[in-house]
Amino acid sequence: MKEKEIKFNFDNSYLNLSDSFYKIQYPSKVKEPKLVIFNNNLSEEIGLSSNALISDYGANILSGNLIYEESTPISQAYAGHQFGHFTMLGDGRAILLGEHITPNGNRIDIQLKGAGRTAYSRGGDGRAALGPMIREYIISEAMNGLRIPTTRSLAVVTTGESIVRERVEQGAILTRVASSHIRVGTFQYAVRFTNYENLKALADYTIKRHYSEGEKKENPYLYLLEEVIKRQAHLVSKWLQVGFIHGVMNTDNVTISGETIDYGPCAFMDTYNPETVFSSIDYQGRYAYGNQSYIMAWNLARFAETLIPLLSDNEEEAIELAQNSISKFNDIYKESYIMGMRKKLGLFNEEKEDDNLIYDLLNLMHKYEADYTNTFRSLTLNIKDNIIMFETTEFNEWKSRWQERLKRQRESEKEAIDLMKSVNPSVIPRNHRVEEAIEAAVKKDDYTLINKLLDVLSTPYDYTKDKEEYTKLPKPSKIPYRTFCGT
């Protein structure tokens, strides 16, 4: 009876692919599952019963201790370039319970992250620590609030068990919701470790699931490539517009659906600096804030390479089609980025000098070490907010140019401000806020700060009094902020 109350509606179409793409994999049972964070809004949105899941029975389902009757749990195979080096990968600690069909007909993956060893664990324990799972929950939900395509988090369950990383930590399992978990790395795996028939089957499956218009096209595989390029170009432009740094842009972390995935070493930038890196393992700055568009283009070139056998029977023609498609990335990205930045300055129309206006401001922000989010928030509210840059002659000259530019458009000052408020978040998940919330939960079993932070981040474009406390910057520190992947 309780299974029916939860209302999972599983239909596992991925199992129709060759079993070289997955292994049937049941989660490892845990000692004492306890539901500590639950996403009521997401649960209702996808047609699940929150009341049924917020129970001991629900905790057992969301920990993998009990398997829903319609579920056929699997771990997925994929490969990828990690920091530029190709390797065989796969779900080393994640298990896909199934594809849930929502009441409005959407097909979404329900995955348990930290559910135990799999065929692809490569010697790992398959488990996850509580801190990183909370981190993914907070950041992914913040990204959703910022209207950036993302995987989402349904729940965090503690396991009642300890795991060993650099120290002994509490074990936890995250329930991740995604349009799918098909990655650039999935296609790399198909090319390197299977055969042409499996590659074609994967591409056909992906088109049907995510780009069904492509089934009507003369060359559906070229359509697939070009649509993925468009989605990822728009995605990375949105990241940069809010100061987000992914931190681990390996090809296995680039989804074909165009959603942001894997929130390990990610963070939001405070002081504007294109060279900002937070990841403790990114020694060369490969995935720095300012490199993200270039890396995305590189990753998509690897995707294009996998499709060459499908693009044309003539290899030279296939290579030319792939190269032509990839060459469009930068223009698509730049157009999306500049359009977004115009909006951040309240600009509705286009003028030739807009690029200079935007980049001149960014250069001033870099020079005077201005906070990225608060600079645009202050411009929106027309306040100085203790930003040193605002007191300089250089900025006042820039501001005069900006004000003249605003006067040349037909829209009113109020309309410009409303536009700025709609795209300039008042709050982001500040690193110090995320860390203090995680610390309270991990060390004190206190989820008050997390719940408050999640509430604030759910409406980041609301300029309300309750948000002001969350706009404050961290205290100065000589120790640079570092993030970790959690594995």
User: Of 56, 91, 109, 252, which is the active-site residue?
Assistant: 252
- What are the residues whose beta carbons fall under 8 Å from the beta carbon of 242, sequence distance 6 or more? 146, 148, 268, 373, 425, 428
Is 355 known to be catalytic? no
Contact 136, 178 (CB under 8 A): no
DSSP for 357-376? HHHHHHHHHHHTT-BHHHHH
Tokens of 27: 């989660």
Is the distance from CB of 375 to CB of 341 less than 8 angstroms?
Answer: no
Residues in the chain: 487
Taking the C-alpha atoms of residue 267 and residue 246, their distance in angstroms, rounded to an integer, is: 7
Residue among 64, 154, 65 nearest 109 (CA) = 154
Q: Which two tokens stand for residue 189?
A: 């795996």
Nearest 5°: phi and psi at 150? -160, 150
Which residue blocks in 56-174 are alpha helix, DSSP H? 56-63, 130-145
> Bridge partners of 169?
163
| Nearest Cα to Cα of residue 486 among 62, 114, 80, 32 | 114
- Nearby residues of 59 by Cβ (< 8 Å), 6 or more positions away: 33, 34, 35, 157
Catalytic residue ranges: 252
